[in-house]
Amino acid sequence: MDDGDAVLTANLEFYRAFTTRDYTAMEKLWARRAPVACIHPGWPVLSERAEIMQSWAGILSNSEAPRIACYDERVYVYGEVALVTCEEELDGGTLAASNFFVREDGVWRLAHHHAGQVVARRGQRPRPDRPSSGRLN
């Protein structure tokens, strides 16, 4: 598996942990040594690992948290770091997201997640079916 495929696999695991509300899997995905940051839609910037994991604990334990479908992933590998851009489809709209990964001990780990609402499109593309309703927080 090349680096691009490995990063996309890590990105898939992030969305799998989110969709299945698996806090243990989510916690394993985040970097331990690299600086981290997370920007949930409508939230201030979180920049400490403990507060990021606390935010995910709250989101993943919320039975109203949305089911998210990730699509249009694009990966950019820059040596020991990589960026994935994608869109997140959920009930109530589409979010554009970026996930920044770092390689720690040979494993791609998430160092930054940012998602924000898409309010204007450059062109129309077919959209997947929207997941069941729910709220992020």
The answer to whether residue 130 is domain-embedded is no
Task: Examine residue 102 and state whether it is found in any structural domain, yes or no.
Answer: yes
Q: Which of 91-95, 103-107, 114-118 has the lowest mean pLDDT?
A: 91-95
Instruction: Give a yes or no: residue 131 inside a domain.
Output: no
- Which residues does 123 contact at the CB level (< 8 Å), separation at least 6? none
Instruction: Evaluate whether residue 135 is within a structural domain.
Output: no
8 is in which domain, residue-wise?
3-117
Q: What is the mean pLDDT of residues 50-74?
A: 92
Q: What percent of the chain shows pLDDT beyond 70?
A: 88
Asked whether residue 125 is domain-assigned, the answer is no
Contact of 82 with 92, CB cutoff 8 Å? no
Residue 30 to residue 110: CA distance in whole angstroms = 5
What pLDDT, on the 0 to 100 scale, is given for residue 134? 44
pLDDT the model gives residue 48: 96
DSSP string, 27-51: HHHB-SSS--EEE-TTSPPB-SHHH
List the CATH number of the domain containing 15.
Answer: 3.10.450.50
Residue 124 belongs to a domain: no
How many domains does the chain fold into? 1
